[in-house]
Amino acid sequence: MDFPQRVNGWALYAHPCFQETYDALVAEVETLKG
């Protein structure tokens, strides 16, 4: 995912070290949503 990412009006910025963790979390949430 590219940053900054907009979520509910918030601009999210992430350090490159956390990019992989963030992407894994987003993928897990999408899976749980169905």
**For 1-34, what is each residue's pLDDT tens digit?**
677 788 899 988 878 888 889 889 999 999 999 8
Domain count, the chain: 1
| The model's pTM | 0.55
Q: How far apart are CA 14 and CA 12, in angstroms?
A: 7
Structure tokens at 28: 């897990």
Domain boundaries, position 11: 1-34
What is the structure's pLDDT at 1?
A: 63
